[in-house]
Structure 1
């Protein structure tokens, strides 16, 4: 994988989208397809790990009885279901 220190979630997602488009059009060789698929899987893994890191950090600070507590962030999906 490219230098992970320079890779951001946004760059990884952009590269992944380009790979998907390239694979969907099927105008590359089998070997190029395999290499693209492998790179895509690396990017998926990177993005999933990054999302998990961010999810763990996203907390809402709530003041309770003069002390502060952290509650997990909820995007409201539970309420919409």
Structure 2
């Protein structure tokens, strides 16, 4: 049981999160919720799973925010076609996600 409670290091989690797509992030969150709800984890394992879930949730929210910005920048061109305008997130908007 102790082997199952072990969590990857935060460096490993961060690199995995960077390469995961949104669907994978949501799937991993669902798996964490199932593990937490099962009641089979120790207190330490539950805390580690919760912490990992918080990181995944923040990553998913960041991805949703970026997608929303892309959708908002969609404009219709003069020929009726759809073009993307480049955008940059306003400075400081993601600051609260780092906490």
Asked if Structure 1 and Structure 2 have the same fold, meaning a TM-score greater than 0.5 normalized by the shorter chain, the answer is yes
Corresponding position of 2:70: 57
Is there any run of 5+ residues in structure 1 with no aligned partner, and where? 71-81
Is there any run of 5+ residues in structure 2 with no aligned partner, and where? 1-12, 84-99
Corresponding position of 1:28: 41
Output the CA distance in 2 between the equivalents of 1:34 and 1:6: 24
Cα deviation, residue 37, structure 1: 0.1
TM-score (norm 1): 0.71
Output the CA distance in 2 between the equivalents of 1:62 and 1:7: 31
Number of aligned residue pairs: 68
Question: Which structure shows the higher strand fraction?
Answer: 1
TM-score (norm 2): 0.59
Question: Which structure shows the higher helix fraction?
Answer: 2
Q: CA RMSD in A?
A: 2.3
